[in-house]
Structure 1
Amino acid sequence: MNPVLMLLCHLSGLFGTIIGPAIGGCFARPVDSFPEVFSRSGIFGKFPYLLPNVICAFLQLMSIIAGYMFLEGTHPDLLRGAAAVQHPHDFDEFGAPLSAVATAGSTAHASADLRVKSYGTFNDVDMHQDEEWDVKPDGKSYECSAAKKTKVFTYRVTMLVIALAIFTYHSMTYDHLLPIFLQDDRTGTASILGKYVLKIPGGLGLSVQTVGMIMAVNGVIALLIQAIVFPLLAEWLGVWNVFALVTVLHPIAYFIVPFLTSLPQKLLFPGIYTCLTIRNFFSILAYPVLLILIKQACPSHSVIGKINGLAASAGAACRTIAPPIAGYLYSIGSRIEFTGLAWWGSAIVAIVGAFQLYFMHGKKHTAVSVTAPSVFLHHPHQGEEEVPLIPEVIHVTVHDNT
């Protein structure tokens, strides 16, 4: 997995987190924001939140069309099958199918090895070619990746998918609760009623437009953390250590939000952006390192689709159940004047994710480098100019399927 492409993919999503809230904040209730354009008796007057949804649906349609027209499959066995039916003139002089060369060229040779602890470190050697072989324990080659009986869902893969599901759940509850909490009527401030009773009533009472701008600024904060903090921290600590750090500290992001109701008005927005910065620091770092760790744990390139499918399904299931559960807890908290109930419920789930680290461990990268030049290298005859020898480096990477 190319780290630059990984970074760009996530950054493109963060641009959406800036534009999306801005669209919602600007075009929700258009009869109030643009009374000279939209009539109260029209369809957008009857359905005040229809316009931003129509805009987002149109953008989604454009994304589907672009994906259908410009994206190609990358499954190695399917590419092999497509190459098998090509005509002889479709092959280059070395016998390689031209279509496979064209589609695999950008992905077959990653610019960095994400299996090492510093994901972005480049080997300071001249490597002419990277090749990969799948062999049996006795040294014999597999005939085809489709014929291998590889255990897909290993213990490590399963634990990482569970970690992704837990992260997806509490991250989704934050995204669901935040705009509700920001707009909910401010009925009081946080206070201690008794020795063991804490009162946190209502929300912050902000307008829809203000909430939209806060969410857009939240996207900018996330973009800066993704572009600047993530590469530096991942190189300094390593992918696994970053994952452990943000997983253990993630509950803090949920615990502190309800106390925004106790801040005076002049400190409210600095407090909001501080909470968003803390949350984005943990969330933005957690998601890409989880994807990298899942990619590392794949026992074979041919089963990446299955593992990604399981991870996507687990994440979708958690995104489905997170909003109703968080909303139900928030409604209960509103009735008992303790809206922190929903936030602290998400903090408990994040604590469960931190506890799961006890059953996981970092996976070390095993490599053997041979740097001695061959004794059969050509030596110049008398009178010939001597060409300096550059030792060839062979990197042997050993993967285990645990």
Structure 2
Amino acid sequence: MPSSEERQSSTAQDGHDSDERQPLLPKPKEQEEEPFPFFPFLVLMVLRLSEPISFSIIFPFINPLVAELKGEDSNVGLWAGLIESLFMATQCFTLLFWGGQSDKRGRKPILLCGLSGSALSIVLFGLSKSFWWAVVARCLSGALNGNVAVVKSALAELVPSRHHPIAFSSLSICWGIGVTIGPALGGFLAQPAQQYPTWFSKGAKFGLGGLWEKYPYFLPCSIAGSLASLSVIFGLFFLPETLPKIVKQRKRSHERTEDSEGSASPVSVKQKQPRFRSRVGRVSSFYSGFTPTASGAASPHSGANARQGSNGNVAAAATARLEEQQEPSSRTESADRTDDTESSVRNDNPEGNSGSITSLIRTPHIQRLLVTQAFLSLVMVGLDAMQILFFYEPINIGGLSLQPSQTGLILSLAGAVGTVAQIGMFPRLQRQLGTLRLYRFALMLLPFSVITLPMANVVARGRHLEGGVAGSEVGVWGFVVASNLLKVFASFGFASNMLLVNQSASLFATVRLGTLNALAQMASSAMRAIGPLTFSTLLSITFQQQLLKGYLAWLVLAVISSGGILASMGIADVEGMIHRGEVAERIEGRDA
């Protein structure tokens, strides 16, 4: 029977072992209880819809538009690819500027500025009567809109990290909704005087004196511009500011105001209180998501109360989280689990790493994320551009000879299916597989999506469907559907990459989140700029010269897509490192 001293020694030893087994960086219980900021999140998603609508609305009618502006004998694929590329090309050159401005001036003003630019530029595009007018309008659309990187930063700051998978997958959902709405508007509302002469021809009820004959593509573009304008108004009144340093400054200013009111004489407070409190309540609610009290003042404790489970406004809870988590957590490296890649990541990012643009670009882990993002974006946008030209060109040279309305319907249905998949499948797969494994799986699907689509032409040629593809041609449509379904699941890579990029903030002592997301988006936008022109031209040449019987371009794209798979094998599992306590989870830029 052990003695009292032995029992005490054993107890002490057990306690010591228990302490050794404790996680180095336990997850705060408070963070686990934070509610999802539903309403400000919804506002942010509404604002996000503008870019995919503006980007994709021209796809169903871009080839007929170019044929009208440049002549039927011109190289339609080349010029259409140029116009499609300009949006992302100009956006690529301005992303760092807009991301940096959002780190300085706040997320909200930059988002509203980008939406205003989208509204103006898409309306100008619809009024195009010359090729160069269309080029300038498309350039403006990209240059004035750097919202995608800013939205990602605002989302990371607004939503608790445990909700990030569903939050960032929602960005892809918004993209899916946008590319569903955009092609539908472009396909069914372009050339309204020809499609719906009873309503829109000259002299008809909505003919407007022949406006739609003069500007056959203005109707869908004007509707897209109106949607963007409504989003500006909606965001102006309901979008909270999320940049931590601005939220913190406003909180301090509000607290100083409260203190000055408390030190004033009772008579002066009574005289000034109603007007001043009303003004403070309006300003705080408008900018920071505070919940005004009954007297009209914004309570500095309302966010904390909401987060603890009261019935306070959820936006206040999100704001309180931003206010209280300003200081970055300390990061500890574990002596165990010395995986080569993860150890290399830690060695490449010492505690004092400033997170500057130069240090970000020179970090191998960030480089791999940017490279794989570039491959994913290049292949996806290349496939989109080739698919549009593939649907337009005659069957005998390698296309499908579809009508614009058929093209719009296919793209819209693919976008709708993608939206449902992002909602119902991505969060579940992310939890089961982990972000990195899901990312690699998505990249592996790309080559199969590419090589499946031209099989539709093989079937169409075999059945001599030179006049077009009817709805009863199951074999042709089967390959079109299969390719687009594979592309839907491959698109999970975008949401996965967003999560991986924001998780990478944990590897740096300080980093401006807007700048980090802008770098990632630059890699994507650069490829989206190169992709449409490059692969539209390649497919056009392939069709004209009948290279590999009209299928060479598809083979080239499939080979390129394998590069992203290989590059992804060197990415470290930062998510696993966070869960094991080897690095601290943080949202950088809080003290920016």
**Normalised TM-score (structure 1):** 0.72
Choose from 365, 377, 401 the match for 1:205. Answer: 401
Deviation at 1:150, TM superposition (A): 2.3
Name whichever of 269-278 and 54-63 sits farther off.
54-63
Matched residue, 2:121? none
Give the counterpart of 1:279 among 487, 500, 510. 487
Distance, in Å, in 1 between the alignment partners of 2:532 and 2:409 is 22
1:182-261 aligned within 5 A? 182-187=391-396, 201-261=397-457
Q: What pairs up with 1:263-274 in 2 under 5 angstroms? A: 263=459, 264=463, 265-274=473-482
- 1:1-400 equivalent positions in 2, closer than 5 A: 1=161, 2=163, 3-39=165-201, 42-90=210-258, 97=300, 105-106=317-318, 133-135=328-330, 150-152=354-356, 153=360, 154-187=363-396, 201-263=397-459, 264=463, 265-283=473-491, 285-298=492-505, 299=508, 303-338=512-547, 339-363=550-574, 364-367=576-579, 398-399=583-584
TM-superposed deviation, 1:90: 4.2
Q: What SS does structure 2 have at the residue aligned with 1:212?
A: helix
Work out whether residues 353 and 509 of structure 2, in 8 Å CA contact, stay in contact via their aligned partners in 1. no
Deviation sequence 1:332-355 (CA, Å, 0-9, x none): 111112443333333233112112
Shift of 1:243: 0.8
Structure 1 position 294, deviation (Å): 0.6
Structure 2 unaligned residues grouped into runs of 5+? 1-160, 203-208, 263-298, 305-312, 333-351, 464-472, 587-592
Deviation at 1:8, TM superposition (A): 3.5
CA contact 1:90–1:97 (8 Å) conserved in 2: no
Alignment CA distance shift 1:155-1:399 (3 Å): farther
Q: 1:53 to 1:345 in 2, by over 3 A?
A: farther
For residues 12-46 of structure 1, give each alpha carbon's deviation from its aligned partner in whole angstroms, at most 9, with x where no partner exists: 33222222222112112212211022236823224
Name the amino acid aligned to 1:365: M
Distance in 1 (alpha carbons) for counterparts of 2:409 and 2:424: 23
Amino acid in structure 2 at the alignment position of 1:134: S
CA distances 1:41-74 after superposition (whole Å, capped 9, x unpaired): 8232244333222222222222233334332332
The residue identity in structure 2 corresponding to 1:310 is: L
SS of the residue corresponding to residue 150 of structure 1 reads: coil
Provide the C-alpha distance between the structure 2 equivalents of 1:247 and 1:225, rounded to a whole number of angstroms: 16
d(CA) in 2 for partners of 1:31 and 1:170?
36
- Secondary structure at the aligned position of 1:359 is classed as coil
Structure 1 residues 61 and 344, CA gap change in structure 2 (3 angstroms): farther
C-alpha RMSD of the superposition: 3.2
- Paired residues of 1:83 and 1:100 also in contact (CA < 8 A): no
Measured against aligned partners, the alpha-carbon deviations of 1:202-237 in whole angstroms (never above 9, x if no partner) come to: 201111111111112111221222122212222221
Aligned counterparts of 1:136 and 1:267: Cα–Cα separation in 2: 57
Cα distance in 1 between the residues matched to 2:236 and 2:527: 27
- Give the AA of the match of 1:281: F
Residues 247 and 319, structure 2, Cα contact 8 Å, conserved in 1: no
- Asked whether the equivalents of residues 331 and 582 of structure 2 are also in contact (C-alpha less than 8 Å), the reply is no
CA distance 1:64–1:320, shift in 2 (3 Å): farther
Deviation at 1:357, TM superposition (A): 2.0
Aligned pair count reads 329
The separation in 1 between residues aligned to 2:226 and 2:524, in whole angstroms, is: 25
Q: Secondary structure at the match of 1:365?
A: helix
Aligned to 1:73, the other structure's residue is in SS state coil
In the TM superposition, what is the alpha-carbon distance from 1:100 to its structure 2 partner? 7.8
Give, in whole Å, the separation in 2 of the partners of 1:221 and 1:157. Answer: 31
CA deviation map 1:297-356 (0-9, x unaligned): 013675211101212222222222211111211121111124433333332331121121
Shift, 1:99, TM fit: 8.8
Q: Secondary structure at the match of 1:134?
A: coil
Rounded to whole Å, the distance in 1 between the matches of 2:539 and 2:416 is 27
Instruction: Check 1:399–1:49 CA distance in 2 against 1; reply closer, same or farther (3 A cut).
Output: same
Q: What is the TM-score normalised by the length of structure 2?
A: 0.50
Residue 572 of structure 2 aligns with an amino acid whose one-letter code is: H
Cα distance in 2 for partners of 1:64, 1:165 equals: 30
How far apart are the structure 2 equivalents of 1:19 and 1:259?
28
Change (3 A) 1:155 1:130: same
CA distance in 2: counterparts of 1:108 and 1:288, whole angstroms: 26
Measured in 1, the distance between the counterparts of 2:215 and 2:428 equals 46
Is contact 1:76–1:301 with CA below 8 Å preserved after alignment? Answer: no
Provide the residue aligned with 1:371 in structure 2. Answer: none
C-alpha contact 2:445 2:487 (8 A) present in aligned 1: no
Does the CA-based 8 Å contact 1:327-1:342 persist in structure 2? no
